[in-house]
Each structure stands twice: as C-alpha cells, then as structure tokens.
Amino acid sequence: MGSRIGVVFLYPGQGSQHAGMLHDLPDHPAVAATLAEAERILPGSAHQDGADALTSTVTAQVALCVAGVASANALLAEGVTPGAVAGHSSGAFPAAVTAGALTFAEALQAVRHRGELMRDAYPSGYGMAAVLGLSVPQVRRLVESVITRDEPAYLSIVNTDHQAVVSGSATALARLTTAAAQAGARRVQRLNVSVPSHCPLLTQVADAMADHLATLPRRPLLRPCLGGATGRLLHDSGAVLDDLARGVATTVRWRDGIALLGELGTTLFIQTPPGRVLARTAQVTHPRTRVITLADTRVTDAAALARVR
C-alpha cells in the first residue's frame, strides 16, 4: 500500500501509572508548559503522582491524561507530525486532544468526571486481570466457566492474539486465575485498576459520559484517531466523542486497531509515558516496524527517527 500513516502516537491507559510518573516526564519546554497549563485548569493535577495518590482511579486517570498530552506536545514542538493517534482505554482522552477533538481543559475535566463515575459505581470488590499466553477463544471459554449470576466477569480488552484482559468481580477473577493457570497460561496478572472497565457493568457510566460529552462542541479533526470500541480509524470528532463515552462499557479492540494501522502504512510507533506496554503490543503485531517509547528515547532522538523513516 505504501506509507500513508507514517508516525502514530500511542497513549497508555490506567494500569500503566507508577509513582513519580509526572516527575519522570521528558525534560522539555513543551512538557513544562503543559504541566503549568494543567495546574491552572485543575490545581494539583501536575503534581499528584505519589504511590498513595495513584491508588485513586480519579487521580490515576487525570495523571495519565496530563502525561500523554505533555509528551505529545513535546513531540509536536520538535516537528513530529503524527499521521494518526491511538489511546488505550483512558489514554483515548489525551489522544483526542492531539487529534483535535478535545481541548486540554475539556479532556482533564472529562477524564476526572469519568474517574469519579467509575469510582462511585464500584468502590470495592471488582477489578481487572490480564491473561497472557492463551488464545482469545480460550480466555472467552474460561470466563464463561468461572462466572455466576452474582459474580460476573467479561472479556474486556484484546491486546494481542495471546494477551487479553478480563474485568469483573474479585471472586470471579480469582477463579479465573486458577483456571487459566491450569489451562497453561504463561501468567495471570491483576492490574492496578480497582473497577471493572470496558464491560457492561459500566453501562450507566457510559450513559453519563455520553451526556457530559454531548455538551462539547464538534470540531474538524487535525488527524484521525483510533476508536477503541471499533478498532477503526475515526475521522469525525463526533465519532471520537461517542467512542470516548461508550468505550468504557465495551470491549477494547486494540489488537484489531494496531493491525489496521500497520496495514495503512505506519512506519513508526511512539509510545508516550508512562511505561512500555503499548510499544510491546505494537511490536508483537508488527515485528518489522520501528517502535520506540519516550521512557527510553529522548524527544529529540524520537524526532530524528521520525524525520528519517
């Protein structure tokens, strides 16, 4: 097909946060400016990255939004122009800022509201677990085998052919862990997430988010944005905002989306901080495509790689 997309920015979601993540952002004027803007919009948002603070789903999602926008702004300031952007779970909000569907202020306010709704819906007893080393059909069957009417669980994220995430009650996830180990899973890891995201348990949250985002203006997009619920590129801001609202209650089709981006000519994936999880999933799907992270690569070096792709 030839190169049509070029550079894609990847924005991680909840579960990737770590203590000190905002203090570890690239040392760049655009990062400093974005942190100062975040502090004006939402006092405290540029500094709340301690281990205790990040146990709150609200604080974690706000911090991830700040980190994603700040890092993307540094890349943009260095002349890196992405052909598309892709955010995983709550990472879809900073991606929407770079795409032009949201302003930074709108994204911070929306992601804080989202976190509050999620926290209030399931304050305890629920969560998410990643299953590595089993096929997606195997995970589906295991989920069906461990759930009960009072202890639900759902396949909520498909990252690669052999990496999926399940959301549900803590009891169901405990049974899933045992069943997956017996089925030969390489690992089952409870995520640092206290709510059952991306499944029907959050339908009311999705409805409330749709009401909130409906009040925002629709703008022409600067660049296409990957839809988490569809696994397809979205070219309209209304479609992006709908995906942001509904995505919290639907399965994230990350594998399909990353596969599509490769087919459309992506030559370089750049993951914004924190972590390397999305870079690894992109590399698994496209082993011959250049994949880097700002956790390991200076912004200026990333810009140089983008220019010579």
Share of the chain above pLDDT 90, in %: 96
Burial class (CB in 10 A: 0-12, 13-18, 19+), 294: buried
Domains and CATH numbers, the chain: 6-121+201-307 (3.40.366.10), 126-193 (3.30.70.250)
Measured distance CA(272)–CA(292) in Å, rounded: 9
* Average pLDDT score over residue span 111-122: 96
The pLDDT-based confidence of 192 (bands split at 50, 70, 90) is confident
The pLDDT-based confidence of 117 (bands split at 50, 70, 90) is very high
- Per-residue model confidence as pLDDT tens digits over 67-107: 999 999 999 999 999 999 999 999 999 999 999 999 999 99
CA dihedral 134, 135, 138, 139 (to 10 degrees): 70
Predicted TM-score (pTM) of this structure: 0.95
- Per-residue model confidence as pLDDT tens digits over 24-75: 999 999 999 999 999 999 999 999 999 999 999 999 999 999 999 999 999 9
308 pLDDT above the threshold of 90: no
